[in-house]
């Protein structure tokens, strides 16, 4: 029962990987090579995207840490933001503008990738935070560790106080 | 394709909640205020020693990954199907290595 439960929990890693890795591998290629947006414009978006990435992890981590609801503090975020995340993901691949409409596509890419990454952080960070908090039992920890390590980095905010440092 | 992957991501993430549980007692501890949490993190030597190589590794993987579609198209002159096979081969190779 517990192993099955662990396996079911680890499906979240599949979700995070398929969404995250697809964007990492194909977003730039799709907008530059297929939709013909100039590389300069996409580089500019990626620069701000990097900065947004650095800010949103500690930000959403802090919000999650201070959240208290009767449905607890991690699960509501995963449950509530997974649907918007997947919609943002789908929208990234279906811009309402034709290839070559540089400015419109640039703005579309800018908005949708920021939205995607913000939602991705909310969902995956909270999903990942569940992992160390679930592991009171010693058995099966290794399995969960493998399932969760990929996105572990999302959870180091707020840790130093309780960690050994 | 975007919709198909989106639906797949949606189904698996919601499914994973059935295997997840929260321990309410952990939420009883007061958490650090944001400013102090950032200070504790960035003044933590072990963390800094870890985070720099970790960032470089992440950077390498992300850069490499984003270049693959361009590489297969313009250097290998591969078709889109062949690119898929190429990425699929990487994925299949990675599966047994997860057990290492």
The full set of domain ranges for chain B reads: 2-97
The answer as to whether A160 is a domain residue is: no
Residue B27 confidence (pLDDT) = 67
Contact check, Cβ <8 Å, B19/A68: no
Tokens standing for A45?
């978006």
> Would the ipTM clear 0.85, i.e. be above it?
no
The answer as to whether A93 is a domain residue is: yes
The answer as to whether A165 is a domain residue is: no
Tell me the residue range of the domain where A109 lies.
Answer: 2-155
Average pLDDT of the segment spanning B68-94: 86
User: CA B57 to CA B53: how far, in whole Å?
Assistant: 6
Residues of A in contact with B31 (CB under 8 A): 62, 65-66, 158, 161
Residue B23 confidence (pLDDT) = 74
| pLDDT tens sequence across A67-115 | 777 777 888 899 899 999 999 999 999 999 888 888 999 999 999 999 9
User: CA A131 to CA B25: how far, in whole Å?
Assistant: 15
The answer as to whether A67 is a domain residue is: yes
Which member of B11, B38, B69 has the closest CB to residue A29?
B69
The answer as to whether A163 is a domain residue is: no
Contact check, Cβ <8 Å, A33/B20: no
User: CA B51 to CA A153: how far, in whole Å?
Assistant: 9
Residues of B in contact with A4 (CB under 8 A): 19
Q: What angle do CA A147, A122, A92 make, to 5 degrees?
A: 95
Residue B47 confidence (pLDDT) = 92
* Locus of tokens 């950077």: B59
Interface probe, candidates A160, A162, A164, chain B, greatest B C-beta count within 10 A: A160
**Nearest CA of chain A to the CA of B81: how many Å?**
14
Residues with pLDDT less than 70, chain A? 1, 135-165
Contact check, Cβ <8 Å, B5/A89: yes
Residue A136 confidence (pLDDT) = 61
Closest-CA residue to B50 (of A121, A152, A21): A152
Closest-CA residue to A161 (of A62, A76, A78, A56): A62
User: Which residues are CB-neighbours of A121 under 8 A, at least 6 positions away?
Assistant: A53, A56, A57, A60, A154
**Nearest CA of chain B to the CA of A59: how many Å?**
8
| pLDDT tens sequence across B43-65 | 999 999 999 999 999 899 888 88
The answer as to whether A103 is a domain residue is: yes
Residue A46 confidence (pLDDT) = 92
The answer as to whether A162 is a domain residue is: no
Number of domains in chain A: 1
CB A140 within 8 A of CB A44: no
The answer as to whether A78 is a domain residue is: yes
Tokens standing for A162?
């309780």
B74: which DSSP letter? Answer: I
User: CA B80 to CA B49: how far, in whole Å?
Assistant: 41
User: CA A16 to CA A85: how far, in whole Å?
Assistant: 10
pLDDT band at B98 (very low <50, low <70, confident <90, very high): confident
Average pLDDT of the segment spanning B9-29: 80
**Nearest CA of chain B to the CA of A103: how many Å?**
22
């Amino acid at each position: 029962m517990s192993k099955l439960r662990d396996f079911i929990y680890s499906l979240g890693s599949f979700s995070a990987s398929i969404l995250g890795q697809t964007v990492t591998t194909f977003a730039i290629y799709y907008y530059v090579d297929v939709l013909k947006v100039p590389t300069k414009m996409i580089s500019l978006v990626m620069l701000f995207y990097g900065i947004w990435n650095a800010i949103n992890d500690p930000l959403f981590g802090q919000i999650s840490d201070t959240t208290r609801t009767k449905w607890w503090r991690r699960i509501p975020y995963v449950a509530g933001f997974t649907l918007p995340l997947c919609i943002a993901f789908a929208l990234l691949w279906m811009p309402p503008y034709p290839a070559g409409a540089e400015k419109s596509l640039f703005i579309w890419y800018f908005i949708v990738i920021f939205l995607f990454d913000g939602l991705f952080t909310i969902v995956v960070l909270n999903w990942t935070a569940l992992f160390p908090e679930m592991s009171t039992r010693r058995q099966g920890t290794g399995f969960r560790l493998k399932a969760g390590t990929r996105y572990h980095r999302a959870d180091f905010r707020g840790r130093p106080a309780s960690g050994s440092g | 394709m975007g919709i198909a992957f989106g639906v797949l991501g949606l189904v698996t993430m919601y499914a994973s909640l059935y295997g997840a549980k929260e321990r309410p007692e952990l939420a009883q501890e007061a958490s650090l205020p944001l400013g102090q949490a950032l200070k504790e993190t960035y003044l933590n030597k072990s963390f800094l020693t870890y985070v720099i190589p970790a960032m470089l590794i992440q950077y390498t993987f992300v850069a490499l990954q984003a270049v693959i579609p361009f590489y297969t198209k313009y250097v290998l002159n591969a078709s889109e199907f062949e690119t898929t096979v190429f990425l699929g081969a990487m994925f299949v190779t990675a599966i047994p290595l997860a057990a290492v």
